[in-house]
Structure 1
Amino acid sequence: MTSNNTTVTDCGTSHFRYPLFTSTYTVVLLFALPLNCVSLWILVCRNGLKKSVPVIYMANLALSDLLFTLSLPFRIIYFATGKWTLGNTLCMIPGTLFAVNIYSSSFFIMLISVDRMLAVVYPLRSRSLRTAPVAWMFCALVWLLIAGLAVPIAQNHPEINDTACNITRCFEKYSTDSWNNGFKLICLATFFGMLVPFSIILGCTVAVVRQLRGYSMATSSFNAELSKSKIVKLFLSNLLIYTICFIPFHVIYILFTLVKLEMLHNGSHLEVYFNLHNITLCLASTNSCLDPLIYYFSAKNIQSRSRCGSASKTVGLGLVQSTSWTGQ
């Protein structure tokens, strides 16, 4: 599903995708590794996973990002040298973890958005749904679904013997059968793993914005406006990740595959789609760098909640402040 191909025989690393991927993955590794390690440490060690529903979802999101980040050195080695020497198993793992990260991130961001929407719009009626056992149940379900998706993806990402160049490839030069299988997988994953969560997040964003507008007439204090701003920024950061990382990659991948498999009669632009696919693949990889935005806005509200204590459990926006980040 993350494979690349080219329309000409190229045995070297002169094509722009090699330095592009090498530099992009290196930058992502340098930023995402410390960001997600620190985020996961703060979420688990300082906030704990026993009671806070948002922390549970964010910790699982950070774990997904960390797994993908740890696989980046293998990609960097390949695109820096243009050949694969580490064996078939280590070739399948990075490609699989890319898909695992994309779709697990999508689901966890959706769960975070739904939890925040319930806390803001239905703070009392949703208490039974916003509990740690329920959160862990949803997380387990996500990982089970992702594990089921990972098996066919791994099988579709083996190392390739490039006979024309007499070298072993990884992450590219896949056969027509692999492209056919990958197309079926990406269509299924796009609908259930990207379009459905994005629609739910968009609906949650609209519901929260409408609810907060209703609070604007009753509350005008600086703290209330600041709290509303943080909540809105959390939802906007969720949508931003989809706009930059997920949507362009899926749109271009599907168009490129349709042209490559001659299902879309636009073969003269195959090279254009191929180049766009390389660029959007890099954008998708930045997902693990952008997710800490969610941790940042959430952590700011968790700190705000700790300072306010039980005294903030009042009506209106005060109720939103007291329930938004604790999962109670």
Structure 2
Amino acid sequence: MHLNNTDCNTSHFRYPLFTSTYSIVLLFGFPLNSVSLWILLCRNGLKKSVPVIYMANLALSDLLFIISLPFRIIYFATGRWTLGNALCMIPGTLFAVNIYSSSLFITLISVDRMLAVVYPIRSRPLRTAPVAWALSMTVWLLIAGLAVPTAFNHPQNEDTDCNVTRCFEKYTPDEWKQGFIILCCTTFFGILVPFGIILGCTVAVVRQLRSYSKTSSCDAELSKSKIVNLFLSNLLIYAICFIPFHIAFILLGLSKTEILPGEKSLDFYFNLQTVTMCMASTNSCLDPLIYYFSSKRIQGRSRCDSSSKSIGLGLVQSTSWTGQ
């Protein structure tokens, strides 16, 4: 959703900004996620590895969003929509699908790694492929339920002032009110709650790692770094992509529904939302960081000190592609 704009040209900075941002995300995101998904499916399989199941679903979510980007690029490059109402609703819906499914799958990855590190034995019954598939299907069902109202809230609009058809902008006050309600609900359940869970998992893992002896094996030290980088990459995605966008979007929604008065404030929130929406779109390029920190195998095990082998082995198993 975007602010109504009576200017009929495409001089506003959002048009070239969106065009260039989506082009860059398409250029880098498609090969990164395609290769990641190929590695996950062909080299690791989905039968036993819980992390691979979650990461494959995350890559699929990113690819669904990325393949819709050409439609956005065409619109923001030309400033007019000519592809019909259905193709207008799909890209807007896939953006929301990607944001919230990514948030939930990143949360599942974080919880799985936390259980593997903090409760490696007690959590084994929960960290199985059937449980992972059940949770993944639950996420997709929730996202499908969100997609229906989101799609109907993103139709094409006739801009009578400029005599063109618009998409991704110029929504009516009723559409804004309905969209704002959806936004508040999805922000709380799809962003704030998952972020709190990831933050709690990060604290629990850091405490557990600090409890290990300072005299540890090479495996343990490398695995500790790998685990920390995984959680930092999760928090980085939230800090760059999810949190700023939702703060700006809620402020814009409050202004559009006249809860926050002021025309100048409305313009500022609109511009802020434009920038943060571009930031949110980059999450599909940052997600491969999660694949990297979750997949790169620890090398040089034979060179490590055997005195701390049990600690090192436990940490290595907690971050392995194929380990449960």
Shared fold, TM over 0.5: yes
Identity of counterpart residues, as a percentage?
71
Structure 2 Cα separation of the partners of residues 299 and 306 of structure 1: 16
Q: CA deviation at 1:226?
A: 1.4
CA contact (8 A) 1:91 1:157 kept: yes
Task: Give 4+ residue runs of structure 1 displaced > 6 Å after superposition.
Answer: 305-308
Structure 1 counterpart of 2:315, from 310, 314, 320: 320
Corresponding residue for residue 136 of structure 2: 139
Structure 1 counterpart of 2:3, from 2, 5, 21: 5
CA contact (8 A) 1:131 1:327 kept: no
Corresponding residue for residue 283 of structure 2: 287
CA contact (8 A) 1:68 1:94 kept: yes
Q: CA deviation at 1:171?
A: 0.2
Instruction: Let me know the Cα RMSD of the aligned residues.
Output: 1.9
Q: CA deviation at 1:161?
A: 0.5
Q: What does residue range 247-326 of structure 1 map to in structure 2 within 5 Å?
A: 247-301=243-297, 315-325=310-320, 326=322
Q: CA deviation at 1:225?
A: 1.3
What letter corresponds to residue 167 of structure 1 in structure 2? V
- Shift of the 15–319 alpha-carbon distance from structure 1 to 2, 3 Å rule, reads same
CA contact (8 A) 1:313 1:322 kept: no
Corresponding residue for residue 243 of structure 1: 239
Q: CA deviation at 1:215?
A: 1.3
Cα deviation, 1:266-309, whole Å, max 9, x if unaligned, reads 443111111001000000000000000000111114x659999x
Corresponding residue for residue 51 of structure 2: 54
CA contact (8 A) 1:39 1:295 kept: yes
Corresponding residue for residue 232 of structure 1: 228
Structure 1 counterpart of 2:72, from 38, 56, 75: 75
- Shift of the 180–299 alpha-carbon distance from structure 1 to 2, 3 Å rule, reads same
Q: Name structure 2 gaps, 5 residues minimum.
A: none
What letter corresponds to residue 50 of structure 2 in structure 1? V
CA contact (8 A) 1:249 1:280 kept: yes
Structure 2 Cα separation of the partners of residues 306 and 178 of structure 1: 58
CA contact (8 A) 1:249 1:284 kept: yes
What letter corresponds to residue 8 of structure 2 in structure 1? C
What letter corresponds to residue 271 of structure 2 in structure 1? N
* TM-score, with length taken from structure 1: 0.94
CA contact (8 A) 2:219 2:315 kept: no
What letter corresponds to residue 15 of structure 1 in structure 2? H
CA contact (8 A) 1:312 1:318 kept: no
Q: Name structure 1 gaps, 5 residues minimum.
A: none
User: How many residues matched?
Assistant: 321
Structure 1 counterpart of 2:147, from 129, 146, 150: 150
What letter corresponds to residue 96 of structure 1 in structure 2? T
What letter corresponds to residue 217 of structure 1 in structure 2? K
Worse-superposed segment, 90-99 or 256-265: 256-265
What letter corresponds to residue 245 of structure 1 in structure 2? C
CA contact (8 A) 1:305 1:322 kept: no
